[in-house]
Amino acid sequence: YAADSKKPTRIPVHNWSSQIVMAYVIGGILEGMGGNVEYVPADSNAVYESIRIGDVDISHEVWQSAFGKSFDTARDKGGLLDWGDHEARTLEDMGYPNWVADLCPGLPDWTALQNPDCAAKFVTPDSGGKGRMLEGPQTWHQDLIPQRVDALGLGDLWTVKFAGGADALWAELEAAEKEGRGTIIFNWTPNFTDGAGFTFIDFPPYYDGCRPVDGGDGKCGSPDGYLKKAVNENFPKTHPQAAEIFKNMAFTTGHIGAMAALVDVDGMTHEDAGKKWLADNESV
């Protein structure tokens, strides 16, 4: 193992459960090989520039819909390498727990949201009489969802609020069920909700260039996307063994959902969840 530098591999930590647990899983694997690891809190879009300039070494959950543009920008400037995809495919979009379908006939087709009777069942005290959609933190997609709501002509009936963090999305699912009101939140797969029954809204299909940030009209949903890995271009030279192991890591939807569930369902800390996942999945 002498080939790898003793300098720690700097792994970024973001603000959703599977990403943080996977950071500890990868860290545990590298430490098990005799390597050193440092966990670095990082913004989920700015991290690709940080990797490009060498302040962070790797990224292990590049979600195409949210971060693909930032990833492409950094890669095209030089210094950041595409290090392959996980087996899991991703979808990141607005949706609802399955029990909500009865409140809004026509779901999951997005046109069901045009019905005022539907929107009325999603009103909250802070929504100004409109149906509320709860987006993730604004750092994830900026104004993508408010732009889409307006572009599809839903702005008179629906308003978009931003959650402070991922935990607020899961708290909203619980609160809505207790209160018997509708809820539409931003969510993603793979996630722990895959097992609980969650449906994504069918918006008009995504195509390259349809988003406002790319010059489009915004009348489109999210892509069926990759979940990618990235490294600084020098990492394979300074840490050849770690880089090779990381390149070969390709987690499935089930693996990643389980990582999130240990925290969001079972209530473990991210660090303990990483250890437990590794212990439970030695064969992987």
Element (H, E) at 276: helix 270-280
If you average pLDDT over residues 144-173, what whole number do you get? 97
Same fold, 9-89+225-280 and 91-214: yes
pLDDT top residue among 180 and 37: 37
Residue 22 neighbours by CB under 8 Å, 6+ apart: 60, 61, 251, 256, 259, 274
Q: Could you tell me the pLDDT band of residue 1, with boundaries at 50, 70 and 90?
A: very low
pLDDT at 94: 98
Distances (CA, A) of 27 to 99, 160, 246, 264: 38, 37, 10, 21
Q: In the chain, pLDDT over 90 holds for what percent of residues?
A: 97
Contact 90/64 with Cβ under 8 angstroms?
Answer: yes
* pLDDT score recorded for residue 284: 72
The two structure tokens encoding residue 150: 């307006």
| Whether the Cβ atoms of residue 108 and residue 202 lie closer than 8 Å to each other | yes
pLDDT of 114 reads 98
- How far, in Å, CA of 272 to CA of 71, rounded? 30
pLDDT at residue 246 is higher than 90: yes
**Overall average pLDDT of the 148-174 stretch:** 97
Residue 115 has pLDDT above 70, yes or no: yes
pLDDT of 97 reads 97
- Structure confidence at residue 196 (pLDDT): 87
Strands 37-41 vs 58-63: parallel, antiparallel or unpaired:
unpaired
Average pLDDT score over residue span 100-123: 97
Query: Do 181 and 120 touch, CB atoms closer than 8 A?
Result: no
Fold of 91-214: D-Maltodextrin-Binding Protein; domain 2 (3.40.190)
Q: What is the pTM of this model?
A: 0.94
Question: Average pLDDT for residues 159-186, to the nearest whole number?
Answer: 96
**If we measure between CA atoms, which residue out of 12, 11, 19 comes closest to residue 188?**
19
Q: What is the pLDDT of residues 38-67, one digit of tens each?
A: 999 999 999 999 999 999 999 999 999 999
pLDDT tens, position by position, 60-109: 999 999 999 999 999 999 999 999 999 999 999 999 999 999 999 999 99
Confidence category of residue 144, pLDDT binned at 50, 70, 90: very high
Closest CA to 238 of 81, 7, 71, 49: 7
Distance of CA 135 to the CA centre of its chain: 12
Domain boundaries, the chain: 9-89+225-280, 91-214
pLDDT at 282: 84
Residue 26's pLDDT is 98
- Read off the pLDDT of each residue in 206-218 and give the average, rounded to a whole number: 96
Instruction: Give the pLDDT of residue 283.
Output: 75
- Going across the sheet that includes 227-232, the strands are 58-63, 227-232, 80-85
Class of domain 9-89+225-280 as given by CATH: alpha beta
